[in-house]
């Protein structure tokens, strides 16, 4: 895709002004890093607060008395009992139990749900929702109307409460309508870095003013997609299209925790989502492969698609995400391994440029998550 064809977020001019290196990502011209560089941007987010432009993500509103019940039929998650002012992680599954996309769902009250879906999947997600829910509730895309900012890191709350003191009382996964610089925004205490922080849905026309105000705070630096990726990798968080896809079930992806108890085989509203029988069967019988954390035992970074072998040299899996973890001070990866090799501390080897790189299966997250739970 040529630069002329790439979509731009409302902060495109600001990224250029800040000296960002721009790259194509999910059809958008996006900042991969700023002059600070990926390593320092990553560490700044862990130590202070980083501001990310994630306006390429898809925001969708569902409106109607049947919205929660209708959406629950598409995801293995409890939507009907999701409290007003809370959000939950969810997945769209297909009839084979594969993952079509992962998303966040918030209950706004007044029979309204607010969804944030992945940039690369947003058009197909919108079509999926319209096909299955269109006759039960209003499906309203907000792709052009609203932008999305993520303010992440231990100083995020200190920064945002200068604009809206009430955000300090919010806890992890709470969601609220908040006025910022006089503009109605949606704020959730959540993010994709493993750190405390907020995601802010803001009307597109007001995005630049809010971003500039946040960047004027001494604790805040602009952070690009490069550090966003290394932060989420250290936090053990999946990236759709890399760590899971339509060929991967929630069980294989080690996402059983995300299937609400009410929707599990022994739950009050068991099943009722696409592929439920397959997912429940895998939960009981086990799966042939599973996503695990992998820590290389030497300095060589191990990247996506590297084969993983056992001591005898037999291929037993593949790396799905990998890179350098600045907080860990070494390389870090996730991959899918044959079930027999997924026990913690199992020694395995990645093939990098024809050479074996020693690794061991590790628990995740690699860096402790610091969500604020009150």
Say whether pLDDT at 2 is over 80: no
Domain ranges of the chain: 3-58+144-234, 288-366
Q: What is the CA radius of gyration of the chain?
A: 21
Q: Which two structure tokens, joined as six digits, stand for 265?
A: 């085989």
Q: Omega of the bond prior to 365 within 30 degrees of 0, cis?
A: yes
Predicted confidence at residue 67, as pLDDT, reads 98
Query: Which homologous superfamily is 3-58+144-234 in?
Result: Probable tRNA modification gtpase trme; domain 1 (3.30.1360.120)
pLDDT, one tens digit per residue, over 18-66 is 999 999 999 999 999 999 999 999 999 999 999 999 999 999 999 999 9
Say whether pLDDT at 1 is over 60: no
Sort residue 197 into left (φ over 0), alpha (ψ -120 to 50) or beta.
left
Sign of the Cα torsion 237, 243, 244, 250 reads negative
Residue with tokens 């309203």: 140
Say whether pLDDT at 194 is over 60: yes
Asked if the domains 3-58+144-234 and 288-366 are classified in one and the same CATH topology, the answer is no
pLDDT, one tens digit per residue, over 316-339 is 999 999 999 999 999 999 999 999
**DSSP class of 244:** B
Q: Whole-angstrom Cα distance, residue 63 to residue 235?
A: 33
Nearest to 374 by CA among 167, 214, 145: 167
Q: Whole-angstrom Cα distance, residue 197 to residue 194?
A: 9
Q: What is the mean pLDDT of residues 230-254?
A: 98
Backbone angles phi, psi at 252, to 5 degrees: -60, -35
pLDDT, one tens digit per residue, over 103-154 is 999 999 999 999 999 999 999 999 999 999 999 999 999 999 999 999 999 9
Predicted confidence at residue 372, as pLDDT, reads 97
**225-234 vs 38-47: helix crossing angle, rounded to 10:** 60
Predicted confidence at residue 296, as pLDDT, reads 96
Question: Considering only 1-15, 76-90, 314-328, 360-374, which range has the smallest mean pLDDT?
Answer: 1-15
pLDDT, one tens digit per residue, over 260-284 is 999 999 999 999 999 999 999 999 9
Say whether pLDDT at 362 is over 70: yes
The CATH label, of 3.40.190.10, 3.40.640.10, 2.40.30.110, 3.40.80.10, for the domain at 288-366 is 2.40.30.110
* Residue 175, strand partner residues: 188
pLDDT, one tens digit per residue, over 74-99 is 999 999 999 999 999 999 999 999 99
Cβ proximity of 63 and 111 under 8 Å: yes
pTM of the predicted protein model = 0.97
Q: Whole-angstrom Cα distance, residue 78 to residue 215?
A: 37
Predicted confidence at residue 3, as pLDDT, reads 58
C-alpha count within 13 angstroms, C-beta hemisphere, residue 229 = 22
């Amino acid at each position: 895709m040529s630069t002329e064809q790439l979509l731009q977020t409302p902060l495109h001019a600001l990224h250029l002004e800040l000296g960002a290196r721009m790259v194509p990502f999910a059809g958008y011209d996006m900042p991969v890093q700023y002059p600070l560089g990926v390593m320092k941007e990553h560490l700044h987010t862990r130590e202070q607060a980083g501001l990310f432009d994630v306006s390429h993500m898809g925001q969708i509103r569902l409106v109607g008395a049947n919205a929660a019940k209708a959406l629950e039929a598409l995801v293995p998650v409890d939507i009907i009992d999701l409290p007003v002012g809370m959000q939950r992680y969810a997945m769209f599954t297909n009839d084979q139990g594969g993952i079509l996309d992962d998303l966040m769902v918030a209950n706004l009250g007044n029979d309204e749900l607010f969804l944030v879906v992945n940039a690369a999947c947003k058009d197909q997600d919108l079509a999926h929702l319209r096909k299955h829910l269109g006759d039960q509730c209003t499906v309203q895309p907000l792709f052009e109307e609203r932008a999305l900012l993520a303010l992440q890191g231990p100083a995020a709350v200190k920064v945002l409460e200068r604009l809206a003191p009430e955000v300090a009382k919010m806890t992890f996964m709470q969601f609220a309508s908040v006025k910022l610089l006089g503009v109605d925004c949606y704020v959730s205490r959540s993010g994709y870095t493993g750190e405390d922080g907020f995601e802010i849905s803001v009307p597109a026309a007001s995005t630049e003013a809010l971003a500039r105000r946040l960047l004027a705070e001494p604790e805040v630096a602009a952070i690009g997609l490069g550090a966003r990726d290394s932060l989420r990798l250290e936090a053990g968080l999946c990236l759709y299209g890399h760590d899971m896809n339509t060929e991967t079930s929630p069980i294989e992806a080690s996402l059983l925790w995300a299937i609400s108890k009410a929707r599990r085989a022994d739950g009050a509203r068991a099943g009722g989502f696409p592929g439920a029988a397959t997912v429940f069967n895998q939960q009981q019988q086990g799966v042939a492969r599973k996503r695990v954390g992998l820590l290389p035992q030497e300095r060589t970074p191990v990247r996506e698609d590297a084969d993983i072998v056992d001591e005898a040299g037999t291929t037993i899996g593949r790396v799905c995400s990998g890179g350098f973890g600045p907080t860990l001070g070494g390389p870090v990866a996730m991959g899918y391994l044959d079930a027999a090799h997924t026990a913690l501390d199992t020694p395995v080897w990645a093939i990098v440029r024809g050479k074996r790189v020693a690794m061991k299966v590790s628990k995740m997250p690699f860096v402790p998550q610091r969500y604020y739970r009150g």
